[in-house]
Amino acid sequence: MLSRIPWVVGSCGLLSAIGAEFDRTRPFAHMVIGTAIHLEPKTAALLLTLRRGGAEIIAAGNLNSTQAETVDYLRAHGVRVVGSTTTDHDTHLAELERVLDAEPHLLLDNGGELFERYLARPYERLLGGTEETTSGRMRLEPLRAELARPVLVVNDSPIKQFAENTRAVGLSVLESFLRITNRTPHGARVTVLGYGACGRGVAECFRQAHAVVSVIEVDPVARLRAHLDGFDVLDRATALSSAEVVVTVTGARDVLLPEDLALLKNDTILANAGHFPDEINLGDAEVTPGAEGIDTVRLVDGKRLYLLGGGHMVNLAGPRALGNSVESMDLGFALQSRCLEAVATGAVGPDSCVVPVPTAIDERVATDYVALRSTSV
Ligand SMILES: NC(=O)c1ccc[n+]([C@@H]2O[C@H](COP(=O)([O-])OP(=O)(O)OC[C@H]3O[C@@H](n4cnc5c(N)ncnc54)[C@H](O)[C@@H]3O)[C@@H](O)[C@H]2O)c1
């Protein structure tokens, strides 16, 4: 099969321009960057851009999203990949340790796992780095005093919030649902747990695909927003017991507990789009893996449910997952590149520990993107 990666890499206009600049400026000369990020074609574009800035790169993946073709491609282009397509948690943790063994100067983290583990085995030369997600920010916020280095949270950029989390995640979760299940959303009752940046996009995309969408939220203000956006904000039991499809996308663990699953109808389809699979707690249910990432879940009362992608991020799980659109990730990864550049060059200091992307970087990336799109017509 011909590779999709050159198309994706070639479609990342912002990263191409930054790469050309980095060829000259070399902000990461003599530095090691360690990462644990989804190893799929868009991240290949990011990591190769950082290499053009002079970095040596050592990369693990995230659980259940690593694509073998991307690993081969990165290795062929000089990235040291220690990640594998594993779905085993202990193997994944061992891969994170191998990244830290290289004592990277910069960490490009995705879920806060690398920074958290760094604190258990610190070394001198870590300058700081970036964190990609909401889940990682939540994990790292309590660790600020110990980290005491610049850690810029790309998730909290308004650009990532609307371009990726809301717009792109909604589309790609819907795309994954269609591709994996081949079921119609038309008229289906879909319940979305979490109405934050991602949940708003998921709810909206299913609604635009003519599903009947309800929202479950713990935050009263977000619940009001869902109501004013025209979604059913039912009580939890009604929303769950009437659903045919349930999507969790909160960043919190145990969002669905075994007692919630007991309320669901037979044959309800479950999917998680939050960063970690622990949003759905299956308790003692029996899980039988099925083709195309559709697991059958048998509850103790005999009820049958289906779980997509093993409960991992449904839009990134499995060998055929496309993930978010190239353009949304080009924007997010341009922010990543500029933030890592800022840390490497000392433009941000320890007072920028687990803080959003500096506004100047947001504005620069936004300006570059609009200029790029305007000149390409
Ligand atoms: N799948 C992807 O491609 C992708 C992309 C970006 C982010 N994410 C992940 O999606 C998750 C959500 O991100 P976000 O940016 O929307 O976060 P957010 O903080 O904007 O929104 C999360 C929402 O979930 C709500 N919530 C928390 N616990 C809940 C519970 N038990 N029940 C119902 N609602 C609850 C919160 O009140 C909040 O409104 C995170 O794990 C993030 O890392 C996934």
Q: Does 229 reside within a domain?
A: yes
Q: Does 316 reside within a domain?
A: no
- CA distances, 49 to each of 22, 149, 334 (Å): 8, 24, 9
73/60 Cα distance (integer angstroms): 14
Q: Does 317 reside within a domain?
A: no
How does pLDDT run along the chain (377 residues), one tens digit per residue? 678 899 999 999 999 999 999 999 999 999 999 999 989 899 999 999 999 999 999 999 877 778 889 999 999 999 999 988 777 889 999 999 999 999 999 999 999 999 999 999 999 999 999 999 988 999 999 999 999 999 999 999 999 999 999 999 999 999 999 999 999 999 999 999 999 999 999 999 999 999 999 999 999 999 999 999 999 999 999 999 999 999 999 999 999 999 999 999 999 999 999 988 999 999 999 999 998 899 999 999 999 999 999 999 999 887 678 899 999 999 999 999 999 999 999 999 999 999 999 999 999 999 999 999 887 55
**Domain region containing 152:** 5-156+323-375
Question: Atom 3, ligand 1: which residue's CA is nearest?
Answer: 169
For residues 174 and 67, membership in a common domain is answered with: no
Please name the residue ranges forming H helices in 112-252: 113-120, 134-140, 144-147, 158-159, 169-181, 197-208, 220-228, 236-241
- Candidate from 200, 250, 336 with most ligand 1 atoms within 8 A of CB, to mutate: 250
Find the CATH number of the domain harbouring 288: 3.40.50.720
> Where does ligand 1 bind, in terms of residues with CB under 6 Å?
133-135, 165, 169, 193-199, 216-219, 222, 249-252, 255, 273-275, 313, 315-316, 324
Q: How many distinct structural domains can be found in the chain?
A: 2
Edge-to-edge strands, sheet with 189-193:
212-216, 189-193, 245-248, 269-272, 304-308, 294-298, 286-288
Write down the pLDDT at residue 308. 96
Ramachandran angles phi, psi of 245, nearest 5°: -135, 135
E strand or H helix that includes residue 367? helix 359-375
The Å distance, Cα 236 to ligand 1 centre, comes to: 17
The Å distance, Cα 191 to ligand 1 centre, comes to: 14
For residues 172 and 248, membership in a common domain is answered with: yes
Among candidate residues 282, 311, 340, the one where a domain is terminated: 311
Which atom of ligand 1 has the smallest separation from the CA of 276?
41
CB-based contacts of 67, cutoff 8 Å, min separation 6? 39, 40, 41, 85, 319, 321
Write down the pLDDT at residue 374. 85
- Measure the CA angle with vertex 32, ends 54 and 67; round to 5°: 90
The answer to whether the CB of 252 falls within 8 A of the CB of 279 is yes
Write down the pLDDT at residue 306. 98
For residues 116 and 149, membership in a common domain is answered with: yes
Are β-strands 294-298 and 304-308 bridged in parallel, bridged antiparallel, or unpaired? antiparallel
The answer to whether the CB of 53 falls within 8 A of the CB of 27 is yes
Amino acid at 100: L
